[in-house]
Chain A
Amino acid sequence: QVQLQESGPGLVKPSQTLSLTCTVSGGSIRSGSYYWSWIRQPAGKGLEWIGHIYTSGSTNYNPSLKSRVTISVDTSKNQFSLKLSSVTAADTAVYYCAREILAWGQGTLVTVSS
């Protein structure tokens, strides 16, 4: 059964770039025709889809975040990554990675603060 684990800094300064990695285990990120997603949830609020990447490398992003988001995949490490630039306090949230939108990681809290 596929498992996903997010990792990255828990604290990012305003205006800097948030970088997270999702490590996939229990299956190759190259196998199957899946897409790999990032979703976030501010404390006490709802879920927000950030974007996803197909194994082929093609991406789709939330229009509201598109100008600041980059999702990439590293098949050699069985990982995919999220970069969110020019962060503000409004980007403080638990960030989840998922295969499609079905199998989720446990999430990692990222706080934007100086």
Chain B
Amino acid sequence: QTVVTQEPSFSVSPGGTVTLTCGLSSGSVSTSYYPTWYQQTPGQAPRTLIYTTNTRSSGVPDRFSGSILGNKAALTITGAQADDEADYYCVLFLGSGISWVFGGGTKLTVL
């Protein structure tokens, strides 16, 4: 069974830059997996940040960017702010059978 991997937690200083990654337990992530990224704060529904690797959703600040780095999808936050503290999830399309599989999420702390 293919697992989508994310760092369990990450910390960044205010104003700093952080890159979160989304990988596969077996194989490399490419644009063909349509990586999508979400931000979720407590009690709220996930907010779509990035889809199809690097397209920002409407209203998402350009300090959020998506890419492929090596064999993983990546979400980079440039100039981190206090309200970026949240859980971040990625999801990958693994084919017509399995379809979408979410990563376990990364808890980002800004301090």
Contact = CB atoms under 8 A, between A and B. Distances in A.
A47 B104 CA distance: 7
Contacts of B100: 37, 49, 101
Interface stretch (A17-25, A67-75, A82-90, A102-110): A102-110
Interface string B47-85: 010010000010000000000000000000000000000
Given A60-B96, A102-B51, A47 B57 contact: no
Contacts of B104: 46
B99 A105 contact: no
B103 A46 contact: yes
Interface residues of B, number: 19
Contacts of B46: 47, 96, 104
A62 B101 CA distance: 9
A105 B46 CA distance: 9
B23 to A, nearest CB: 15
Nearest to B89: A47
9 contacts: A39-B102, A46-B104, A46-B105, A47-B46, A101-B48, A102-B51, A102-B57, A103-B48, A104-B46
Interface of B: 36, 38, 45-46, 48, 51, 57, 89, 91, 96-105
